[in-house]
Structure 1
Amino acid sequence: MAFFTWDLHLDLVFGDVTLASLFDFEPDDLAVDVPIMPLVEKIVSDDRARVAQSIHRAIETGAPYQETYRIFTRSGDVRTVIAVGRCFRSIDGIPSTYAGVVVEVTGSEAFAQSDPLEMHCRAALEMAELRGKELVSRYLKSALGALNQVGTKRL
């Protein structure tokens, strides 16, 4: 799971080493800042307009964003990712910061067979269990139960 923050006023993206690796940047490149366009240019052209429209809508409305799209690597491989984010506003209501996560799902059979909400809950459950967060694990199992998924797939 890769994390990012985009300063809309400066048009600069800050991301972790996982995001840098996923988008084929040097590990420290996104720790300093990079304009958004080099990341957007990695998106497969067939997906780019749809993704741009969704991001624009999220910036205008403040609604959560979620898109599945493909990105190119230097080697010519294509990766499929799910990006989830939200645009935050200043006290004056002006869009200022866009933050989110990107998860690679390339070739994931589980992704193809499940809805994104279930996938994110399962990923969060796995992290909670790895960190020994029993209460969080219980809540996530309850959420998965509400999605009618508990028992049909391995937790």
Structure 2
Amino acid sequence: MHTESNAVVEIANPTDAAGVYLWDIGTDTVFSDSAAAEAFGFAADVAKGGMPISMYLERMHPDDLPRVAEAIRDAIVSGGPYQEEYRVCHPDGAVIEVLAVGSCFKNQDGEPFQYAGLLFPKEVSPGAETSIRQLCLMAYELAQKDGKVEVAEKLVEILVSLGRQQFEERIPAAACRH
């Protein structure tokens, strides 16, 4: 089974931007090529060797996860095609949009066996709000580094007002006052 999964991952991408993934449902392991790994912010060698699907789901934007999980479940149950757009949250705070298409394959007994597909990062030009958030986060990190506690606290307030949730993992809990 493991070698079959790796063989599928070795297929060359139809374009440089598209990523290939294969989920071995029985072992709950997702194998992906370097483009799919990059879209989720994973090291290519680790993703190619297989990772639990939960690691991919943890990177999905929390607002998109319920819809995407339901669409995956529906594709597995029905055997029909899957197509969803969603956001992926990288550990560095970057958020990218992707389009995923796939299909579930069933074994001779009609049981879900493997799920394979393609992942296309969407070209999204960052808006002004994203740029402000990124600059504020960089300014916060500089203020922390330079010991400017009051400035860092003000930047936390600004980031919170912008609705930035992902920055909290890079900021000490004591600095966050909600």
Query: How would you bin the TM-score normalised by the shorter chain?
Result: 0.5 to 0.7
- 1:98 is aligned to 2:115: yes
Q: Deviations over 1:101-153 (max 9, x none)?
A: 11000416xxxxxxxxxxxxxxxxxxxxxxxxxxxxxxxxxxxxxxxxxxxxx
Q: CA RMSD in A?
A: 0.9
SS where residue 63 of structure 2 aligns?
Answer: helix
SS where residue 44 of structure 2 aligns?
Answer: coil
SS where residue 45 of structure 1 aligns?
Answer: coil
**1:42-81 map, 5 Å:** 42-81=59-98
SS where residue 77 of structure 2 aligns?
Answer: helix
Q: Deviations over 1:33-91 (max 9, x none)?
A: 10000100100000000000000000000000000000111220110000000000001
Q: Structure 1: where are the runs of 5+ without partners?
A: 109-155
SS where residue 18 of structure 1 aligns?
Answer: helix
The structure with more radius of gyration: 2
Work out the CA distance in 1 between the residues paired with 2:122 and 2:99. Answer: 7
Work out the number of aligned pairs and report it: 108
TM-score (norm 1): 0.68
- Percent sequence identity is 40
**1:1-155 map, 5 Å:** 1-107=18-124
TM-score (norm 2): 0.59
Q: Which runs of 4+ in 1 moved over 3 A?
A: none
Paired AA for residue 100 in structure 2: A
Work out the CA distance in 2 between the residues paired with 1:27 and 1:35. Answer: 15
Work out the CA distance in 1 between the residues paired with 2:113 and 2:78. Answer: 13
Partner residue, 1:138? none
Paired AA for residue 100 in structure 1: G
What displacement does 1:30 show?
1.2
Deviates further, 70-79 or 42-51? 70-79
